[in-house]
A and B are shown apart, each in its own frame.
Chain A
Amino acid sequence: MAIDITNHKCPACTGPLHFVGESGMLECDYCGSKYSVEEIEKLYAQDVAEAEEGFAKNEAKKEKEKAEFEAMGMEWSEEEAKGMKTYSCPSCGAELICDATTAATSCPYCGNPTVIPGQFTGGLKPDLVIPFKLNKDQAVKALENYYKGKIFLPKAFKEHNHIEEIKGVYVPFWLCDCEMGGSAMYKGANVRSWREGDYDITETTYFNVMREGKLEFEMIPVDASTKMPDAHMDAVEPFDYRELKPFSTAYLPGFLADKYDVSQEASMERIEGRARNSIKSEMRNTVRGYSMVTTEMENFDFENKGVKYALMPVWMLSTKWKGQNFLFAMNGQTGKLIGDLPVDKGKFWGLFAAIAAPLAIISSIIWILL
């Protein structure tokens, strides 16, 4: 069996290790031993190298097998093969197939957490990672609290919502340092009114206003995974960058992880758009002292000053309700929770009637009495 994956085992009892956000250490579920990320990195440096070597060997073996299958007329189509990856579980030996972008997962048969290093080698290795700070119990509790006070939430939705299936995912992000510079022209106006005899006089004084400058941005994030909806990933921002760490696979055991499948170039449009809107509003905010301001011209240039590849911690739960998908995401570092919930139309119109009817009756009575 090719050793093409890294299986972080407890040095004391060989049980699987998980990264625990609260302690910031890798912990063994079986004997309770705890190890720092540095200790495990040192201990498994050789394993990781072997895994990478094994990964290469395995790729060669797969090529050979592919040729044999082709000879037998049993080949996967190119499209099918492109989107898949195979590996063997080091704990139970199951031959497993996963998505080509999957970088960390767990065995569906024995639950053994596994990191697939081939996904994070060479140019694919992330620069930074923010480790999970909140554990699954906290995520479940946060989601339960999120449901509270949502008066339009259908009762049956909560019952059919398998909250325990929430998963911790390291989502790939591009973090872009950039600068926007340029100028804008505005027309400012002040209005003064007074009365002279039988005439109302209105005086409007106009000003030409110019602003020129630049605005620097540090690590604007944009998710680099097509699997993750952009709106959800944008909404769980911001992350606390003070807790960014140099990337290590030791942070991954116990969580899912994906490698990026949206290129830097493809992400740049969204980054530039956000930076452009920010400088527009910042420039506009400097135009003060006028009762009316209209924008006449804006011209800004974008400069990319460097992009970093990072993995960000997000707890996710995807659930289906009446044929529709509802996705919840929680920032695994700050606990910010967002998501779309179904609306019970009966409850919506019920509340509408409960407010409108008594209000209409009371205000009508007051009108008639007065």
Chain B
Amino acid sequence: MMTKKIISILFAIILVLGMSVSAFANNQGIYVYDEAGILTNDEIEELNAKAKAISEEYNCEVYAITFPGLEGGEAWELNEMLYFQLTEVFGASEDIIILTLAMEERQYDILAHGYGNTVFTDYGKDVMAERFLDDFANDDWYWGFNDYLDTCDEFLEMAANGEPFDVGSEGDSFGANLFGVLIATIVSCVIALVVCLIFRAQMKTARLATEAHDYQKELNLTNHYDRFSHRDIRRVYNPPQDNDNKSGGGTTINAGGFSHKSGGF
């Protein structure tokens, strides 16, 4: 198992080194690397310009990378290799976020480091993934990356304002507000309708009598019993829920100082 893992990592390093010759040879403001060849040149240019603008505005570098395949490794391992390559070889900032897609396995990984860990919390990464995964699932690569960059922009701005996006921050988003307004409107309409129907019910008071309680005497019980019949016992396995950081917000950082969000698309 370990051997396989080492081989995989080595392979990834070789892959990255190989890539560095072709792709990272020029890091003069390049933030989008399409090694899998899934974007057109125009799309790369547009996305790169956007990523560059965001990176420069908030001093946190935003990268988007596609790879043909993992060759047996894990997406997060590959992404950490890419981080070292970018920072140590090409002098990229340690305050960073990288989204990498491995096309053959259809796996992705979001890596954050430094200030990126403050901005992109575990919950923030979950929300970010939700926003781009629907596009990637439809092979809509350009719009998937576009959503990724928009989300980076939004979260970086919130962090710059002193409130990084995390659990409980959704109330600030337009979608959440719209949802709240919708719920408030529906509840208000229901309350108004109930009040109106109460007043309306006063307009119709003639109803057929279905019982005769006003004319009855006391019930005379002549016989009665309550006998035990049987007992059912149901056991449902319900282990305690793990209380990880996600439920309380914040960012889970590994020993290398990275935080990740990985999955398939």
Q: Which residues of A contact B (CB under 8 A)?
A: 149-153, 183, 187-188, 196, 198-221, 229-232, 234-235, 237-238, 271, 273-275, 277-279, 281-283, 286, 289, 327, 329, 338-343, 348, 351-353, 355-357, 359-360, 363-364, 367-368, 370
State whether B235 touches A201 (Cβ < 8 A): yes
State whether A274 touches B220 (Cβ < 8 A): no
Closest 6 CB pairs of A and B: A367-B180, A356-B192, A355-B192, A363-B184, A359-B188, A234-B209
8 Å CB contact of A363 from B187, B200, B213: B187
Q: Tell me the complex Cα distance, A275–B219, Å.
A: 12
Q: Tell me the complex Cα distance, A188–B191, Å.
A: 36
State whether B203 touches A153 (Cβ < 8 A): yes
Tell me, yes or no, whether B216 is within 8 Å of chain A by CB.
yes
Tell me, yes or no, whether B234 is within 8 Å of chain A by CB.
yes
Q: Is the interface of B mostly helix, strand, loop or mixed?
A: mixed
Enumerate chain A residues within 8 angstroms of B214, measured Cβ to Cβ: 237-238
Task: Provide a sorted-by-A list of 18 A–B residue pairs whose CB atoms are within 8 angstroms.
Answer: A150-B199, A201-B233, A206-B230, A212-B221, A213-B222, A218-B217, A221-B215, A234-B209, A235-B207, A271-B212, A282-B219, A338-B206, A348-B196, A352-B196, A355-B195, A356-B188, A363-B188, A370-B171
State whether B208 touches A356 (Cβ < 8 A): no
Task: List residues of B (207-265) whose CB comes within 8 Å of A's CBs.
Answer: 207-217, 219-240
Chain A residue at minimum C-beta to C-beta distance from B232: A204
Once A352-B196, A360-B185, A363-B187 are accepted as A-B contacts, the answer to whether A278 and B211 lie under 8 Å apart by CB is yes
Tell me, yes or no, whether B40 is within 8 Å of chain A by CB.
no
Question: Chain A nearest CB: distance from B26 CB in Å?
Answer: 47
State whether B206 touches A231 (Cβ < 8 A): yes
State whether B221 touches A188 (Cβ < 8 A): no
Q: Tell me the complex Cα distance, A273–B221, Å.
A: 21
8 Å CB contact of A340 from B171, B203, B238: B203
8 Å CB contact of A200 from B184, B215, B238: B238
Enumerate chain A residues within 8 angstroms of B215, measured Cβ to Cβ: 217-221, 238
Enumerate chain B residues within 8 angstroms of A281, measured Cβ to Cβ: 211
Tell me, yes or no, whether B4 is within 8 Å of chain A by CB.
no
Enumerate chain A residues within 8 angstroms of B224, measured Cβ to Cβ: 209-213, 286
Tell me, yes or no, whether B205 is within 8 Å of chain A by CB.
yes
Once A187-B229, A232-B206, A367-B181 are accepted as A-B contacts, the answer to whether A214 and B220 lie under 8 Å apart by CB is yes
